[in-house]
Amino acid sequence: MQEPTPHTFEDAQLQIYTLMHRDSYPRFLNSSIYKNLLQTGSRSSSES
């Protein structure tokens, strides 16, 4: 990278964002770890 500009990483950032949006984040939302966290959080708030 001889002369980087402020826009050097924009394409990579877009590709990573798209991958997260379409694949990683939806899988996380459907994971048992996340669902357990939601259940634990809702129990804690109802006990207060």
pLDDT confidence of residue 43? 79
Would you give the distance in Å from CA 34 to the centre of its chain? 12
Region class of 4: left (phi > 0), else alpha (psi between -120 and 50), else beta: beta
Whether 4 is in a domain gets the answer: no
Whether 14 is in a domain gets the answer: yes
Phi, psi at 35, each rounded to 5°: -65, -40
Whether 18 is in a domain gets the answer: yes
Domain count, the chain: 1
Confidence check: pLDDT of 46 > 90: no
Note down the domain range covering 40.
Answer: 9-46
pLDDT confidence of residue 44? 76
pTM, entire model: 0.61
Whether 3 is in a domain gets the answer: no
Whether 30 is in a domain gets the answer: yes
Whether 21 is in a domain gets the answer: yes
